[in-house]
Amino acid sequence: MSGDDDQQDHTIADDLVVTKYKMGADIANRKIDSGALSAKPGVSVLSLCEKGDAFITAETGKVFKKEKEIKKGIAFPTCVSVNNCVCHFSPLKSDPDYTLKDGDLVKIDLGVHVDGFISNTAHSFVVGATKDAPVTGRKADVIKAAHLCAEAALRLVKPGNQNTQVTEAWNKIAQSFKCMPIEGMLSHQLKQHVIDGEKTIIQNPSDQQRKDHEKAEFEVHEVYAVDVLISTGEGKARDSGQRTTVYKRDPSKQYGLKMKTSRVFFSEVERRFDTMPFTLRAFEDESKARLGVVECAKHELLQPFSVLHEKEGEYVAQFKFTVLLMANGPLRITSGPFDPELYKSEHEVQDPELKETGMEATLEDY
């Protein structure tokens, strides 16, 4: 079999590949739904992360049980980032935890894979929001803006369109709600075992990022994790110095590790996670994992997913979905339980061009 034919077998042109994506998506969607229901005042972020990862591991263990060679499980560990925390907060037992409060803006982010075919999703909501007591003000603005950006992307990420069209639409929608997309954040093409494929969509690029970022056209049989992160602030995400707990292996890097603890740790990473992101919480001995990761990260064998923050007092909302660019049109396979009636903003999208993307029905909900 030629390399091209082999590659063809691993795209969504193959019905079995689509089935594997949908299996992972079903698990991801169920966890996002239950996670949103579980996020009540007094609940700890650590417990939500632990339950999320345990659910994904248990549910993926039920599919393709006879095919022992098929790997499946967590494609992105459960992260629960609150208020001005932008992303990647997934604490260890030894880290300071966070307890949810009424009115917190919560983002749950996770990923599932079956045979390396990745279904990612993220969802935002406000703890305690009801139709009788809907969210107003800046929290409502940012959630509406982020959700509308995701809906616009669903209509724009299709064969023949350019990634720059999505970037421009996101800027316009965010500005309508007096919000900003987080600068430089990327949505990636997905391939088997690859969470960060070469084609990307960039949010709110700086002048230099705009020059450096490659323009790309979406093509049939591609898959994307479309990731929207919108802020009420300046749109600048900073590393606040909190411990990084999520990493992924960089297969392009080689280095002879000196410390035995590092070698044992890295060997377990390769065996259990391959190139998928993982959390240090997944290791039986957290203290050894914390020690072993240092040398691996220093020599770039592992890439960190740093915990990022906006300014104190601002709010960040995130929506992420996985979309398959099928021959008969885009198919969104992951999404969370969003109810526009819970969020009342004084703002709306005015741009007539955006209404031409087919968003009229969505905009009417707002």
Position 350 scores a pLDDT of: 78
Position 1 scores a pLDDT of: 35
Give the model's confidence band at 355: pLDDT under 50 very low, under 70 low, under 90 confident, else very high. Answer: low
What mean pLDDT comes out for the span 326-347?
97
pTM more than 0.85: yes
Q: Taking the CB of residue 215, how many other CB atoms lie within 10 A of it?
A: 9
Q: Where are the domains of the chain?
A: 3-244+306-364, 246-298
CA angle 313, 304, 201 (to 5 degrees): 75
Report the CATH number of the 3-244+306-364 domain: 3.90.230.10
User: Considering Cα of 317, then 322, then 324, then 328, what sign does the dihedral take?
Assistant: negative
- Kindly provide the b/e burial profile for residues 290-326, where b requires at least 16 CB atoms within 10 angstroms of the residue's own CB: bebbebbeeeebbeebbbbbbeeebbbbbbbbbbbbb
Give the model's confidence band at 43: pLDDT under 50 very low, under 70 low, under 90 confident, else very high. Answer: very high
Given a cut of 80, is residue 312 above it in pLDDT?
yes
Q: What is the pLDDT of residues 126-176, one digit of tens each?
A: 999 999 999 999 999 999 999 999 999 999 999 999 999 999 999 999 999
Position 9 scores a pLDDT of: 54
Nearest to 195 by CA among 329, 305, 301: 305
Lowest-confidence segment of 59-68, 166-175, 275-284, 343-352 by average pLDDT = 343-352
d(CA 362, CA 108): 23
Given a cut of 80, is residue 262 above it in pLDDT?
yes
Q: Do domains 3-244+306-364 and 246-298 have the same CATH topology?
A: no
Given a cut of 50, is residue 54 above it in pLDDT?
yes
Of 1.10.10.10, 3.40.50.11810, 3.40.640.10, 3.30.70.3270, which CATH number belongs to 246-298?
Answer: 1.10.10.10
d(CA 223, CA 331): 9
Give the model's confidence band at 229: pLDDT under 50 very low, under 70 low, under 90 confident, else very high. Answer: very high
Which residue matches tokens 């982020």? 146
What mean pLDDT comes out for the span 270-279?
97
Of the chain, the percentage scoring pLDDT greater than 90 comes to 92
Average pLDDT, rounded, for the chain: 94
Position 354 scores a pLDDT of: 77
